[in-house]
Amino acid sequence: MEIIARISRMQARSQQLKREGKSIGFVPTMGALHEGHLSLMRRARAENDSLISSIFVNPTQFGPGEDYKTYPRNMDQDRKLAAGVGVDIIFAPSVTEMYPEGYATYIEVDGLTEGLCGRARPGHFRGVTTVVTKLFNIVRPDRAYFGQKDYQQAIVIKRMTADLHLGPEIIIMPIIREPDGLAMSSRNRYLSKEQRQAALVLSHSLKKAEEMLGRGERDGEIIKDQMAQLIQQEPLAETDYISVVDSDDLTESTEIKGQVLIALAVRIGRTRLIDNILWKDPNSTKI
């Protein structure tokens, strides 16, 4: 496995792979790898001749007062995990390599970025779409893999890729969870033992929503209310948002029809965690 820090070197390697007629699968990450990341890499490994993954904690997607400085970084461990699932090249540029002095260009996607995490984290998606565009231009992948864990991010990137004719096929993979239901996240490392237990309210509240939908409840407000009540019972948890939205355009669904995304963000101490489920009405004709 090769580790590349320079953009020029990464571009040359990608061009070489293309000349050899090899397809490129790409998994962008911020490192502190876990099974969620590895699941994307395994799928990408199976579907492409070569597999490139990036490890870059992207400063432009963190807001002031967020955890950019403390975000877990563990290159030695990441290197072993990536090699174990057959990554060919890790692209790990420095911040100045990606954003040299005088850097001034940003990509923005309207509409889809306005609700959910976009509302709670102003500027976050502008940072994400900018860095992903840059990474796509450097790596030139045929297919790029993203997790449903960050559902809004994945569909924003899908939209941007189509709108800007960036090229790669975007593949969205299911959420990998711990045995007790907690969605895997690099940020879970911040949690104390008590907080780790309290963090189960996210998946529990989504289970509750799923049960209500199964019993025929179709009022998004009632579902959000019940989820909020469940979260309130956990003293270490504070709700950031709970949303029930159409899974395609992310508009609020008061009356649930077709496929919806139920998504939430909850603070456990200073750690902000997100989780979601997709739910499809069994009577829906929408594919």
**DSSP category for residue 199:** T
Nearer to ligand AMP, 37 or 159 (CB): 37
The one among 4, 17, 24, 30 contacting ligand AMP by CB under 6 A = 30
Tell me: does residue 89 bind ligand AMP (CB under 6 A): no
Query: For ligand AMP, which is the closer residue by CB, 183 or 256?
Result: 183
173 binds ligand AMP (CB under 6 A): yes
Structure tokens at 17: 């792979």
Please list the residues that pair with 28 across neighbouring strands.
54
**Residue 36 binds ligand AMP, judged by CB under 6 A:** yes
For ligand AMP, the closer CB: 184 or 256: 184
Stretch that binds ligand AMP, among 18-26, 28-36, 44-52, 104-112 (CB under 6 A): 28-36
Shortest CA distance to 155 belongs to which of 241, 62, 248?
248
Pick from 10, 138, 183, 198 the residue near ligand AMP by CB under 6 A. 183
Q: How far apart are the first and last CA of the chain?
A: 40
Which of the stretches 99-107, 178-186, 206-214, 224-232 binds ligand AMP when contact is defined by CB under 6 A? 178-186
Helices 7-19 and 124-139, packing angle to 10 deg? 50
Return the range that interacts with ligand AMP (CB under 6 A); candidates 90-98, 142-150, 195-203, 220-228. 142-150
Order of strands, edge to edge, in the sheet holding 24-29?
A: 2-4, 89-91, 50-55, 24-29, 143-147, 169-173
Instruction: Say whether 165 is catalytic.
Output: no
- Neighbour count for residue 197 (Cβ, 10 Å): 15
* Beta carbon of residue 158, minimum distance to ligand AMP (angstroms, whole number): 12
Burial tier of 220 (Cβ tally within 10 Å: 0-12, 13-18, 19+):
buried
Q: Does residue 175 interact with ligand AMP by CB under 6 A?
A: yes
Structure tokens at 182: 């907690």
Q: Does 90 bind ligand AMP (CB under 6 A)?
A: no
Applying CB under 6 A, what is the total number of residues that bind ligand AMP?
17
Q: What is the set of active-site residues?
A: 37
